[in-house]
Amino acid sequence: MKIFVCVKQIPDPNTVESKLDPATKRLVRTGVSLVLDPGDETTIAAAIKLRDSLGNSELTAISMGPASAQEALRRALAMGVDRAILISDPALAGSDVLGTARTLAAALKRENPDLIFCSTESTDGYTGMVPGAIAEFLGLPQLTFAREITVEGSKAVIKRVTQTGYEVVESPLPAVVTIASGSFEAIYPTMKGIMSARKKPFSQLSLSDLGLESSQVGEAGAREQILSIGKAEARAAGQIIKDEGNAAEIIADFLQRHQLL
Amino acid sequence: MAPPAISPTGGWIGTTIFVLVFLAALTVFGLRAGQLVTLLAKARREDRTDHLEERIGDFLLVVLGQSGVLRDPIPGLAHFFTFWGFIIIQFGLLNLILGAFNGSLPLIGHDHTFAALLDLFVLFVLVSLIVFAIRRGIVRPRQLSSRLHGPWDGFIILGLIFLVLLTLALVETFGFAASHGEEWSLIGSWLGPSFYGLGTATNVVLYRVFWWAHILTVLGFLVYLPGSKHLHLMATPFNVFFRNYGPRGALPLLENLEEREDYGVSKAEQFTWKQLLDGYACTECGRCNTVCPATNTGKPLLPKEIILGVKESLLDRRHEIVGEPNLFQKLPLADVRSNGHEEIQPLVGGVISKEALWACTTCGACMEICPVSIEHVPKIVDMRRSLVMEESDFPPEVTSLFNNIERNGNPWEISNDRRAEWAAGLGVPLMAENPDAEVLYWVGCMGSFDQRNRKVATALVKILKAARVNFAILGPEESCTGDPARRIGNEYLWQMMAQQNIEVLNSYGFNTAQTESETAHNGHGHNGQTTRPRTIITACPHCFNTIKNEYPQLGGHYEVIHHSVFIDRLIREGRLQLPAGFDQRKLTYHDPCYVGRYNGVYDEPRRVLTVLNSNGVTEMRRNRNKSFCCGGGGGRAWMEERLGKRVNQTRVNEALETEAEVLAAACPFCIMMFEDGVKGVEAEERLQVEDIAEIVARALEEAATPATAHAGQ
Ligand SMILES: Cc1cc2nc3c(=O)[nH]c(=O)nc-3n(C[C@H](O)[C@H](O)[C@H](O)COP(=O)(O)OP(=O)(O)OC[C@H]3O[C@@H](n4cnc5c(N)ncnc54)[C@H](O)[C@@H]3O)c2cc1C
Ligand code: SF4
Ligand code: SF4
């Protein structure tokens, strides 16, 4: 089987304070430390697990981003992904969800994938719209919020996280599947992984390789427009309950009020 | 070469049989021992021929003087006499063997003094044997039980030694009786005359019977030896001779990371020959178990079982290691293994559990106490290396530690740019601002970011300022030394961090092996000749140890001093005036493993505390080189303690036993572990945990403002 996993490089969510550029109204992504999205790391773990259980399958990581995104893909290779594709082109700068998905879909289409993994949402932009848009462009069914995935014959079967438990959902292959966050443990690369990552196939594609016009993507193709940006309201201070014998009651009340009980 | 009074074999036929039996036994012994040597030859190489002169001297002391076992006096003395008795008895044996060829040892063969000495030793050894038997059979210290050789091995050996002595006594008795005193011996002269009544002919027969019995027992012993724990009789001398003479705190470097096939040890034969020799040399005395903080708090780690596990695994796999089985290898060594499982288990996660490997704090107590210089910690780390770098299999909480060290240069999710924030307003120059500073204060991650240990860093700054030391810190140019990563098994990450730090330190000219022209910052007012080696000080024993002892493996040679030693030096040079007897609280001091055992610093911190406190230090039950780990070393501070009792609470309880009010510490991890432990046993009211620097800084402060000096007393 040909399995793909879409991954993205983002400003390190643990150390980098997100800043918005008032001029472009976009996230500042340069001059900060960049990492493979930790969410995508767990999605890669899910994809590797499936590949290993199937046997005779190839797992490719694909990313759209600037040249620095190479690093994120190297990390994916070190974790155990077999092959990497980076789509990088100056014309892609300023792509919105539509442009991103269009580009990724175009690259995926050339590969005739059987299964495409995405995270439910990215850790920086978290629109959660890219996977659906890819599925739409490719005309494929999409399975969402998976916490477990298996392939049985020519269909994919997932356990889909719901508020109360899970549903079992299946779809024919090929399909796009999004992994629910927290369902898998990221893989810390082994030395073999790190060393072989340098030798694994790595291809870089530009817009023209994909047969896309620069008017369809990037700033030019963006259909979204950010009208204004503003500060989020500061979180109100929490309530401290001092136990005077009735703390349990107050907490229970509180939880009930918020329908958590 | 005078002939014996009576020929023990009774002529050439007997002598021929003896020669054949003797050669056969020797051959079997040779083949069995040969297998063991072949296994070592197939193992990894390692050079242990440095420091030759010291090796020879220590060898005499430890092997001939038995200084290792003598640390535990009663069994130690018993062992001392057994050992020397055996050497003397070997000469007696040789004498008896020469008898078969109508000869005897020159000089001592018929010498009464030698004969008397021999018998005195026989008596000594018999007494020792009784001590051993009581210890093993009645006292039964838990550490003596053996999974590898089963309960019987110890008794078989004691029985064989007893038989050797018994038959020897009988040979002497009947030799004396048969020769009417011509074959003189002490025991013979006591017991022999009572058998005159049997008649000479009978006595000659009995003499010959017991001669054969004696010789056969000895040969049986020889054949049994290689498969027994008493293999240590042969291996120990070599093990002591080849022990580690490098810095104790340095783990072996994993070379050539880019091109290696393996990263660490998952199969016994990936160890070096010396690490495997350790297994042969282990006497199974179990001393290591008695001192191990993991064993003592109910973790599934017994350091002795690590050593024996490696040996078991090596012998299990000997056919795989040596190749096609031939007659030579088919010879059984099977009595080595008595646990009965048929299929061969993997070394890591089979013979030795992963939980055992993760439980080690690398405190080094086991290596300190082992009478035969066995090296436990490098083996444990080698196996951790395989788990981390080959299997990516480690406690899940460690993943973020690795990622953070790699990405942020510190163990937390904090940008390293904020590394100097603790010093804001304290007037501490950065190295970049004061490149000529004589002293670099290496703050470490704990001092830089941990709230509690920032106070220690602040205290140390006060001391440095009071003593007018020209110092600076690196701030964001400093990164984690990589120590926790290395000890958890991530050698790759350690090397990455070490290289990065070495580059920074070299750029400021701290490398003692570096010439002036190599330092990049010599534009900063260096007039081109100040190459006096400059000092790095640190309050973190882990930073201290790895920079001092391990960075040289990657070319970084520095003069690094632990802050307790530096403060002591400042006091002795008169640069720091401390109010003597200032602090009258009862205090005890905990020796951090990487300051004490690994680097031999015991006196300096005590001296500093004694200046301040005329009552001195009230020692805990386990102190100095026997100090009991806080539980935080070896990366354990970053892992959950899921099993057994808490190590930190165990040590805090020992401190409480002294009724001290202050537990003086000299390590940020100890402080963290103990504060947690004090809370755990609810002793916050009774016991304060304070770094030496904090105690000194407070004394300085109060001495400077005499008005308040006695207010709090
Ligand atoms: C006008 C405009 C301009 C923008 N310009 C830029 C820009 O110049 N540079 C920039 O980095 N962002 C830019 N963005 C943000 C960009 O649109 C989003 O980062 C991108 O669409 C992904 O959306 P998301 O992060 O919400 O992904 P989500 O939909 O939350 O992502 C879900 C999953 O989809 C996959 N995925 C998402 N993005 C990628 C990708 N790039 N490669 C591979 N897989 C992916 C991953 O598996 C991810 O976990 C711009 C946005 C707007 C509105
Ligand atoms: S180093 Fe310490 S914790 Fe590790 S095995 Fe030895 S005694 Fe036990
Ligand atoms: S390793 Fe050393 S201390 Fe431990 S049982 Fe063996 S000989 Fe004794």
* Amino acid in the structure at residue B267: K
Contact B480, B575 (CB under 8 A): no
pLDDT > 50? residue B653: yes
CB–CB of A186 and B257 under 8 A? no
Q: Percentage of chain B with pLDDT > 70?
A: 91
**Which residue does chain B place closest to A80, by CA atoms?**
B392
Across A145-159, B510-524, B639-653, least confident range = B510-524
- Mean pLDDT for B121-130 is 82
Using the beta-carbon criterion (under 8 Å), do B407 and A33 form an inter-chain contact? Answer: yes
The string of pLDDT tens digits covering residues A181-225 is 999 999 999 999 999 999 999 999 999 999 999 999 998 999 988
Average pLDDT over residues B652-664: 96
Give the DSSP letter string of B133-170.
HHIIIII--GGG--TTTTTHHHHHHHHHHHHHHHHHHH
pLDDT higher than threshold 90 for residue A62: yes
Predicted confidence band at A159 (pLDDT cuts at 50, 70, 90)?
Answer: very high
Taking CB atoms and an 8 Å cutoff, what residues of chain B touch A194? 492
pLDDT of residue B335: 44
> What contacts 24+ positions apart, CB below 8 Å, involve B56-63?
B56/B241, B58/B240, B58/B243, B59/B237, B59/B240, B59/B241, B62/B240, B62/B373, B63/B236, B63/B237, B63/B240, B63/B241
Q: Among A227-231, B489-493, B701-705, name the one with the lowest average pLDDT.
A: B701-705
Backbone angles phi, psi at A158, to 5 degrees: -125, 160
In a domain, A247, yes or no: no
pLDDT range class, residue B322, cuts 50, 70, 90: confident
The domain spanning residue A177 has which CATH number?
3.40.50.620
Is residue B515 very low, low, confident or very high in pLDDT (cuts 50, 70, 90)? Answer: low
Residues belonging to chain A: 261
In a domain, A65, yes or no: yes
What's the gap in Å between A93 CA and the centre of ligand 3? 65
User: Which amino acid is located at B128 in the chain?
Assistant: S
Q: Please, which pLDDT band fits residue B709 given cuts at 50, 70 and 90?
A: very low
Whether A15 sits inside 8 A of B413 (CB atoms) is yes
Range of the domain at A154: 2-221
SS3 sequence of A46-70: HHHHHHHHHCCCEEEEEEECCCCHH
Q: Are B600 and B627 in contact (CB under 8 A)?
A: no
Whether residues A190 and B392 touch (CB distance < 8 A) is answered with: yes
| Tally of residues, chain B | 713
Asked if pLDDT for residue B220 goes beyond 60, the answer is yes
Report for A102-116, B1-15, B94-108, B568-582: range of highest mean pLDDT = A102-116
The yes or no reply on domain B268-390 and CATH 2.60.40 is no
> Ligand 3 test: best mutation among B282, B289, B360, B626, most atoms within 8 Å of CB?
B282
Contact B411, B445 (CB under 8 A): yes
Cα R_g (chain B), whole angstroms: 31
Element (H, E) at B75: helix B73-100
CA distance linking residue A216 with residue B556, whole number of Å:
55
pLDDT given for residue B523 in this prediction: 43
Structure tokens at A12: 């390190």
Q: Which residues pair with B348 in a beta bridge?
A: B352
Q: Report the separation in Å between the CA atom of B295 and the middle of ligand 2, taken as the mean of its atom positions.
A: 8
- Look up residue B546 and give its DSSP letter: I
Residue nearest to atom 5 of ligand 2 (CA): B303
Number of structural domains found in chain A = 1
Separation of alpha carbons B264 and B347, rounded Å: 12
Q: What is the pLDDT of residue B712?
A: 40
Amino acid B522: pLDDT:
46
Residue numbers in B near A16 (CB within 8 A): 415
Please indicate whether residue B281 or residue B227 has the higher confidence score (pLDDT).
B281
Closest CA–CA distance from residue A8 to any residue of chain B (Å)? 17
Query: What whole-number distance in Å separates Cα of residue B443 and Cα of residue B539?
Result: 7
Q: How close, in Å, is residue A45 to chain B by CA atoms?
A: 13
Mean pLDDT of chain B: 89
| Bridge partners (DSSP) listed for residue B587 | B617, B662
pLDDT at B267 over 90: yes
- DSSP class of residue B3? P
Predicted pLDDT at B80: 80
B323-365 pLDDT, tens digit each:
765 555 555 554 444 444 567 899 999 999 999 999 999 999 9
pLDDT tens-digit map of B366-375: 999 998 899 9
DSSP summary character for residue B352: B
Asked if the Cβ–Cβ distance from A15 to B402 is below 8 Å, we say no
Instruction: Select from A32, A188, A198, A199 the residue whose CB has the most chain B CBs within 10 Å, as the one to mutate to test that interface.
Output: A188
CA distance B680 to chain A (A): 22
- Ligand 2, atom 3: closest residue by C-alpha: B360
Q: Which of B650, B613, B660, B609 is nearest to B630 (CA)?
A: B650
Dihedral, CA of residue B436, residue B442, residue B447 and residue B449, to nearest 10? 80
pLDDT-above-90 percentage for chain B? 67
In this prediction the ipTM stands at 0.86
CA pair distance B383, B394, nearest whole angstrom? 12
Query: Please, are residues B597 and B364 in contact by the beta-carbon 8 Å criterion?
Result: yes
Range name among A155-169, B176-190, B378-392 with the lowest pLDDT average: B176-190
Estimate the crossing angle of helix B73-100 against helix B112-134, to 10 degrees: 130
Q: Measure the CA angle with vertex B235, ends B231 and B236; round to 5°.
A: 110
Among all ligands shown, which has an atom nearest to the Cα of B366? Answer: 2
Highest mean pLDDT among B7-11, B98-102, B221-225, B441-445: B441-445
* CA distance readout (Å), B92 to A192, B119, B128, B224: 59, 10, 19, 21
Per-residue pLDDT at A19? 83
Nearest residue CA, atom 8 of ligand 2? B292
Measured in degrees and rounded to the nearest 5, phi and psi for residue A5 equal -135, 125
* Pocket of ligand 3 contains residue B144 by CB under 6 Å: no
Bridging pattern class, strands A166-172 and A155-161: antiparallel
Q: Which residue of A has its CA nearest to B393?
A: A188
The dihedrals phi and psi of B159, each to the nearest 5 degrees, come to: -60, -45
- Find the CB nearest A188 among B258, B392, B407: B392
